[in-house]
Structure 1
């Protein structure tokens, strides 16, 4: 899933590295998701020249990696994509659990389904996917995912949803009340019908959620909590919905590609971002929590108390593991039909 502004996919090289660099590191990350301060600090501390390229979805990144010879050392896949990449032998077993800064990782994020014990990955950021509303334009209830699928008249044609198969289909599953990754044909028909019925109400399908709502192009956008935090810095009336349905949780993870040319520098980077003060730079830039204990001490107080970051009592979320192949095949058919 994409949680950031869709950036132009173009390699940009930070020029703060010393002239006699000890090495290089090539990072492939989501667009508008990497703190320049973090990269500058890493370059200066380790005398490593960093280049960064961006992608807009797990699927885009995975296709490039599967094709081979990507030239990247580090990628930042979401939880379910990590599982796929480990199963396919695409990631290097770097043993973050033996690194000096591993002690800072929040314990509940160690034995995760996608990388039990953390032999391959470290957290980058984690969050929720629901939607944000400009409450200057809409003052009605915003506690249900149904706002995206059965909106009131005033919001029809004023909604953006993510151009993301998994996030949108999982939202539809929550709306119609069926299990995530269901293989039941009747349930999948309900999901398909709900998506097709709602499509006329959507103005756009785009990852560029911040621009969509802050420009006034839409009044509601499916989005991620960190993006909503950044939206609110521009328009205080924008609020992130904590829905009564179980919300989609996700975590992006710093991973090293199998056969990467700069494995040792990649390991340095994994350890580097587990230091609380460095994890704080990640969150300060993109607006998401990071999975590292003590990082909030290095962040402004308003971030730690932000309503987008803190789930209210009674709200729940879940990570969704990769769906079975036969379900993904049906998802692809539903998605292709929806995009016609």
Structure 2
């Protein structure tokens, strides 16, 4: 799931970590809740004898804060692409010599040595997808091909929508809508972003970035529209067929999550074994079938279920503009993000 970085969130997330015990033959994984297929974990444990312990975070800010506090004994963490350079700069993750890990050549060439890790030393791709919004067509069956529906909703959806409570996720969507660069350092440009978020605020029922809660609220009918990630949207649609995922004409925010190894990981060898397992086509397909997100492993399509391959959220329409603009912003840009979010929440 796409996550952005905010210094405001870092301050709020700086709480004492619950330390994770580590013993021989274990692997401690830090990731979003429900962000790995249970069958994948079961098969890895069966094949290797390594017990996997999973701990969850609820924002990129929490991930950063936890790793700054020492990593709590994690061997593996899942990080958004914009966070990888930050974690490298802060010395919070270590080189893993990815090209030497079995299965590295299975990675789609587009995702090898990417912009956020040009040397390919620190990360391998996990899953990727888009971040748009979804609408329950039972409540509103009009055209949803523009971000205007989310930020200036029709009467049928007012008071029935959820917006991300992550500052930078919300800012990213609003910035795309008004045509402002995500990492803009121009106060006038960021004022446009604030204006559209303030315009939307009276119509927002809840602010939440918890994928499971968003899915459940849409399926139950508690909300009729939400900012959402593609996989979460598809899992919601599987349960309530009237939910439709939008591909706005202004563009869709695209993202890639990555596997990294925290500095001081207790068991680097077990971490590499897990990464090698993730790089196999069958394991990658397990995650895709469960999470409904694309993976970056060649050969995995043979193991992806047909209904997943054809799922709307997995198959952007021809001509869809994918905006891979996520990046680690400058200090000046982050300060503007914080000002926008603080002003919005007044």
Normalising to structure 2: TM-score of the pair? 0.90
What is the rounded CA distance, in whole Å, between the counterparts of 1:318 and 1:187 in structure 2?
Answer: 18
Aligned 1:106-145 pairs, distance under 5 A: 106-145=108-147
Partner of residue 324 from structure 1, selected from 330, 336, 339: 330
Question: How far does the alpha carbon of each residue in 1:278-336 deviate from its partner, in whole angstroms, 9 at most, with x for none?
Answer: 11111121110111111121121111121111111111112221111111011112112
The whole-number CA distance in structure 2 between the counterparts of 1:71 and 1:336 is 33
How far, CA to CA, are the matches of 1:246 and 1:265 in structure 2? 40
Q: Tell me how far 1:117 sits from its aligned partner.
A: 4.2
Unaligned runs of 5+ in 1: 4-9, 14-20
Structure 1 residue 265: deviation in Å? 0.2
Contact 1:96/1:271, CA 8 A, preserved across alignment: no
Q: Which residue of 2 aligns with 1:202?
A: 204
Q: 1:237 to 1:139 in 2, by over 3 A?
A: same
**Matched residue, 1:288:** 293
The answer on whether the counterparts of 2:174 and 2:197 sit within 8 Å (CA) in structure 1 is: yes
Deviation at 1:150, TM superposition (A): 0.8
8 A Cα contact 1:132 1:222, kept in partner? yes
Superposed displacement of residue 337, structure 1: 2.2
Partner of 1:221: 226
Equivalence for 1:241: 246
> After alignment, is 266-275 or 114-123 more displaced?
114-123
What is the alpha-carbon distance in structure 1 between the residues aligned to residue 71 and residue 233 of structure 2?
Answer: 36
Aligned to 1:72: 74
Which residue number corresponds to residue 95 of structure 2?
A: 93
The TM-score, its normalising length taken from structure 1, stands at: 0.92
Alignment correspondent of 1:163: 165
- Structure 2 counterpart of 1:274: 279
Q: Distance in 1 between matches of 2:205 and 2:156?
A: 13
**Structure 1 residue 315 corresponds to structure 2 residue 317:** no
Segments of structure 2 that go 5 or more residues without pairing to the other structure are 4-16
Structure 1 partner of 2:65: 63
What secondary structure sits across from 1:118 in the alignment? coil
The question of 1:260 aligning with 2:260 is answered no
SS class of match (2:162) = strand
Structure 1 ranges of 4+ moved more than 2 A: none
Name the counterpart of 1:6. Answer: none
State the 1:179 CA deviation: 1.9
Distance in 2 separating the partners of 1:168 and 1:210:
18
User: Is the CA contact (8 Å cut-off) linking 1:97 and 1:117 kept in structure 2?
Assistant: no
Equivalent residue number for residue 216 of structure 2: 211
Aligned partner of 1:54 among 48, 53, 56: 56
What's the RMSD between the two structures over aligned residues? 1.7
